[in-house]
Homo-oligomer: A and B are copies of this chain.
């Protein structure tokens, strides 16, 4: 292993600086890369996509509020000036821990330090046949597919002459009452009741029915009970019906079946639940928790490997203060910075600290001027929460250009109620 003692690399020239390989340019991998900007290392950053995605706003692409390019930044542009980084757009096939190499579809890439930050996908709980009926929301292409389905449902409702068909087309079922589900439900309600309300001649889009289905006893389980109840009321005002204590047992093209035997007819079904880590555990041949995440130590390294870090949604972490680290963007960023600093410490022969998660709060928006924010024991709701939510999301967007563009778009939407990315693309075109 290279450089752990801090003396080895002193004997080497620049051409053979320690090699850091980072898998994934999400919040974790990207922040690790940027933190190593001035470190005497050669970084290879590998991602299967050519952009970093600001996932917290992906639901806005799915509901036609933003364009994909507004929440995605080319990875190469972000690190263009950081000369110690080489970016490969490639797929990871395996990791050879014995030879310390990452195997991609094109190359074998040796590492001295490895950061695995390949994120998570959604899972259908073993029911993969749901996928065609209920797309999930993790990738841009999935968001575009969901946008296509939502907009197409309204288009078909205008053409059909059958009342039952129209009713089903104007029904939307969202599976999962976490922040993504809440945000999707609120955005679809707004789309129907505000944005397109004057656009159709054969029906009233305000009649659209939106169902938010949660298996647990309440929506937003990570928030306090008071805030979850506030969110439920705010959603109700927008016309969203929340259905709790009801697991979905089946999906088909006409709707969903619930555990209690009832059905909800809906032409559009969206999966906002079921997160499963990337296949990193398979590459590393290590055990995982139930969500496929690798259980790492409080230094975020693979047990027994001080030079291999697993971070973000790929890792199951209980920090040095015994708190379970949640699968949110700020946590992934903190882990990315931590892993980068740990590598610098190892290179310099210093002892590394344990990882401590700093909880800055949890937030979800429900629609125009309404949101819920949980900062430790404090809760904020309504307009102030919405402003805080908007500010945070614009602030943390990657790239000045995106920040300005999203800011202007939101002002525009705020004044006009318009959602300007209302394009049905993909398939057939």
User: Quick check: A422 and B51 within 8 Å, CB to CB?
Assistant: yes
- A422's partner among B48, B74, B151 (CB-CB below 8 A) is B74
Which chain B residues lie closer than 8 Å to A72 at the CB level? 423
Looking at A63-71, A173-181, A210-218, A352-360, the stretch in contact with chain B turns out to be A63-71
- Report Cα–Cα, A144/B405, bound state, in Å: 21
Identify which of residues 393-429 in chain A touch chain B, using a CB-to-CB cut-off of 8 Å.
399, 401-402, 404-405, 408, 412, 418, 420-426, 428-429
Which chain B residues lie closer than 8 Å to A201 at the CB level? 85-87
- Report Cα–Cα, A343/B412, bound state, in Å: 37
Which chain B residues lie closer than 8 Å to A86 at the CB level? 158, 201-202
Minimum C-beta distance from A46 to chain B (A):
10
Which chain B residues lie closer than 8 Å to A77 at the CB level? 199, 418, 422
A8: Cβ under 8 A from any B Cβ? no
Minimum C-beta distance from A22 to chain B (A):
15
A140: Cβ under 8 A from any B Cβ? yes
User: Quick check: B50 and A159 within 8 Å, CB to CB?
Assistant: no
A391: Cβ under 8 A from any B Cβ? no
Which chain B residues lie closer than 8 Å to A405 at the CB level? 405, 408
Identify which of residues 132-154 in chain A touch chain B, using a CB-to-CB cut-off of 8 Å.
139-142, 144, 151-152
Minimum C-beta distance from A81 to chain B (A):
7
Identify which of residues 5-30 in chain A touch chain B, using a CB-to-CB cut-off of 8 Å.
none
Which chain B residues lie closer than 8 Å to A429 at the CB level? 49, 139-142
User: Quick check: B142 and A69 within 8 Å, CB to CB?
Assistant: no
Minimum C-beta distance from A61 to chain B (A):
10
User: Quick check: A141 and B425 within 8 Å, CB to CB?
Assistant: yes
Identify which of residues 197-211 in chain A touch chain B, using a CB-to-CB cut-off of 8 Å.
198-202
A253: Cβ under 8 A from any B Cβ? no
- Report Cα–Cα, A334/B31, bound state, in Å: 54
Interface size class on chain A is 35 or more
Which chain B residues lie closer than 8 Å to A130 at the CB level? none
A89: Cβ under 8 A from any B Cβ? yes
- A159's partner among B88, B161, B418, B424 (CB-CB below 8 A) is B88
A237: Cβ under 8 A from any B Cβ? no
- Report Cα–Cα, A140/B67, bound state, in Å: 14
Copies of this chain, count: 2
Q: Encode A381-392 as 1/0 by CB contact (under 8 A) with B.
A: 000000000000
User: Quick check: B76 and A424 within 8 Å, CB to CB?
Assistant: no
- Report Cα–Cα, A428/B140, bound state, in Å: 10
Identify which of residues 110-148 in chain A touch chain B, using a CB-to-CB cut-off of 8 Å.
139-142, 144
- Report Cα–Cα, A69/B429, bound state, in Å: 14
Which single residue of chain B is at the shortest CB-CB distance from A195?
Answer: B77
- Report Cα–Cα, A189/B353, bound state, in Å: 49
User: Quick check: A159 and B106 within 8 Å, CB to CB?
Assistant: yes
Q: A88-B159, A159-B107 are contacts. A50–B80 as well, Cβ < 8 Å?
A: no
Which chain B residues lie closer than 8 Å to A196 at the CB level? 76
Which chain B residues lie closer than 8 Å to A399 at the CB level? 420
Which chain B residues lie closer than 8 Å to A49 at the CB level? 424, 429
- Report Cα–Cα, A139/B211, bound state, in Å: 35
Minimum C-beta distance from A79 to chain B (A):
9
User: Quick check: A50 and B422 within 8 Å, CB to CB?
Assistant: yes
User: Quick check: A425 and B90 within 8 Å, CB to CB?
Assistant: no
Which chain B residues lie closer than 8 Å to A229 at the CB level? none
Which single residue of chain B is at the shortest CB-CB distance from A73?
Answer: B420
Minimum C-beta distance from A14 to chain B (A):
15
By a beta-carbon cutoff of 8 Å, the part of chain A in contact with chain B is 48-51, 67-70, 72, 74, 76-77, 80-81, 85-90, 106-107, 139-142, 144, 151-152, 155, 158-161, 196, 198-202, 399, 401-402, 404-405, 408, 412, 418, 420-426, 428-429
Q: What 6 A-B pairs are tightest by C-beta distance, nearest first?
A: A141-B429, A76-B199, A69-B421, A89-B155, A67-B67, A74-B422
Known contacts A51-B423, A68-B425, A140-B429; 15 additional CB pairs below 8 A are A49-B424, A50-B424, A67-B67, A69-B421, A72-B423, A74-B423, A80-B199, A86-B201, A86-B202, A88-B158, A89-B155, A90-B159, A140-B425, A141-B425, A401-B420
